[in-house]
Amino acid sequence: MRPINVVLAHHDAVAVDRLAASLGKQFRNLAVAKSAGEIAPAVARLRAPFAVVDLELVGFSELKALCSKFPSTAFVCIHRLADDRMWSDALAMGAVDCCHASDLQGILLASERYVVLTRSRSAA
């Protein structure tokens, strides 16, 4: 289990339940945001250092605002049709990664990279 709190925001109620069941076993606490308006309060409430955000729920301008509002939170974007352009655009908005919504391994790898970077910065 990764010792961090996570926010998961997804537009599809069925898919979010499936993804939450898988991710919930991997992290200390997991909050699910089912609308764009629920993301910021959930990140603030949990002081989540990691958030998984569906780009079908939030647009790039909303993503940029979230990344600016929570600079110590690593945002990983997911999308059912994620591609190189979407990845590039997401990183330009402040996200740390963008992958397919079904790529559980990619999401977990991004969380591990984030935890390693955070610990390295804290030790320095």
pLDDT tens digits, residue range 61-110? 999 999 999 999 999 999 999 899 999 999 999 999 999 988 999 999 98
pLDDT tops 80 at residue 51: yes
pLDDT tops 90 at residue 57: yes
pLDDT of residue 23: 87
CA distances from 21 to 16, 91, 123 (A): 8, 27, 33
What domains are defined for the chain?
A: 2-123 (3.40.50.2300)
Could you identify the residue written with the tokens 């919504």? 101
**Mean pLDDT, to the nearest integer, of 100-121?**
77
CA distances from 1 to 24, 39, 63, 84, 124 (A): 9, 23, 27, 30, 25
- Sheet order of strands, 27-33 included: 27-33, 2-9, 50-54, 74-79, 97-100
